[in-house]
Amino acid sequence: MGARLVRLDCMSEPAIRIEGLHKHYGDLHAVDGLDLEIPRGEVFALLGPNGAGKSTTVEILEGFRRRTAGTVSVLGVDPQHATREWRSRVGVMLQGTSERGLLTAREALQYAARLHPDPRDVDETLAAVGLTEKAGAKPATLSGGQRRRLDVALALIGRPELVFLDEPTTGFDPEARRQFWTLIESVRGDGTTILLTTHYLDEADYLADRIGIIAAGRMVALDTPKGLRARAAEARVSWAEDGAARSEETSTPTALLRELLARTEGEIEHLEVTHPSLEDVYLTLIGEAARDAASAHESEEVSA
Amino acid sequence: MTATTATSAPTWGSMARARIGVEIKEFTRSREQMVFIFFFPMMLLLLFGSVFGGEEISPGVTFAQYFLAGMVASGVFNTGFQSLAMSLAIDRDDDELKRIHGTPLPATAFFAAKVAYVLMVSVVQVAILIAIGVVLYDVSLPGDAAHWWTFAWVFLLGTAAATTLGIAMSSLLRNAKAGSAVITPIVLFLQFTSGVFLVYTQIPSFLQHVAEVFPLKWLAQGMRSVFLPESFEAAEARGSWEHPATAIVLALWIVVGLFLAVRTFRWTRHDDN
Q: According to the model, what pLDDT value does residue A46 have?
A: 95
Let me know if residue A185 belongs to a domain: no
CB-CB neighbors (< 8 A) of B89 in chain A: none
So where are chain B's domains?
A: 12-264
Contacts of A123 in chain B (CB under 8 A): 1-2
| Boundaries of domain holding A299 | 230-303
Q: How far is A97 from chain B (nearest CA, A)?
A: 8
Instruction: Residue B271: count other Cβ atoms within 10 Å of its Cβ.
Output: 7
Q: What is the pTM of this model?
A: 0.84
Q: Measure the CA–CA gap between B55 and B218, rounded to whole angstroms.
A: 24
Q: Which residues of A touch B1 (CB under 8 A)?
A: 122-123
Looking at residue B56, its pLDDT comes to 86
Measured CA to CA, the distance from residue A274 to residue A237 in angstroms comes to 6
For B43-78, give one letter per residue: b (16+ CB within 10 A) or e: ebbeebbeeebeeebbeebbbbbbbbbbbbbbbbbb
- Nearest alpha carbon to residue B216 among B255, B241, B186, B238: B186
Please answer whether residues A93 and A64 qualify as being in contact, where contact means their C-beta atoms are separated by less than 8 angstroms.
no
Domain count along chain A? 1
- Asked if the Cβ–Cβ distance from A117 to B6 is below 8 Å, we say yes
pLDDT for residue A2 is more than 80:
no
Note whether A114 contacts B3, CB cutoff 8 Å: yes
Using the beta-carbon criterion (under 8 Å), do A112 and B103 form an inter-chain contact?
Answer: yes
Q: Which residue among B29, B95, B105 sits closest to A115, beta carbon to beta carbon?
A: B105
Residue range A132-188, pLDDT digits in tens: 999 999 999 998 889 999 999 999 999 999 999 998 888 788 888 888 898 888 888
CA distance B45 to chain A (A): 30
Spatial strand order in the sheet of A269-274: A244-250, A235-241, A269-274
Confidence of residue A229 (pLDDT cuts 50, 70, 90): confident
Q: Residue range B62-86: average pLDDT?
A: 92
Contacts with B267 from chain A: Cβ below 8 Å: 64
| CA B37 from centroid of its chain's CA atoms | 10
Tell me how many residue pairs between chain A and chain B have CB atoms under 8 A apart. Answer: 79
The answer to whether position A1 is within a domain reads no
Q: How many helices (H) and strands (E) does chain B have?
A: 12, 2
Which has more confidence, A238 or A45?
A45
pLDDT at A303 over 60: no
Rounded to whole angstroms, what are the CA distances from A202 to A188, A277, A288?
A: 18, 10, 21
What residues of B are in contact with residue A92 (Cβ under 8 Å)? Answer: 99, 102
Pairwise CB contact (< 8 Å): A103 & B1: no
B10–A123 C-beta distance less than 8 A: no
A152 close to B (CB below 8 A): no
Residue A195 to residue A165: CA distance in whole angstroms? 6
pLDDT at A235: 82
For residue A267, is it within any domain? yes
A141, part of any domain: no
Q: Do B104 and A96 touch (CB under 8 A)?
A: no
Q: Tell me the mean pLDDT in the region B106-119.
A: 92
Q: What phi and psi, each to the nearest 5 degrees, are found at residue A130?
A: 70, 35
Task: Tell me the pLDDT of chain B averaged across its residues.
Answer: 90
Interface check for A4 against chain B (CB to CB < 8 A): the answer is no
**Pairing of β A162-166 and β A90-93:** parallel
Q: Which chain A residues have a beta carbon less than 8 Å from that of B97?
A: none
Least CB–CB distance from B18: residue in A88, A98, A111: A111
Residue A252 lies in a domain: yes
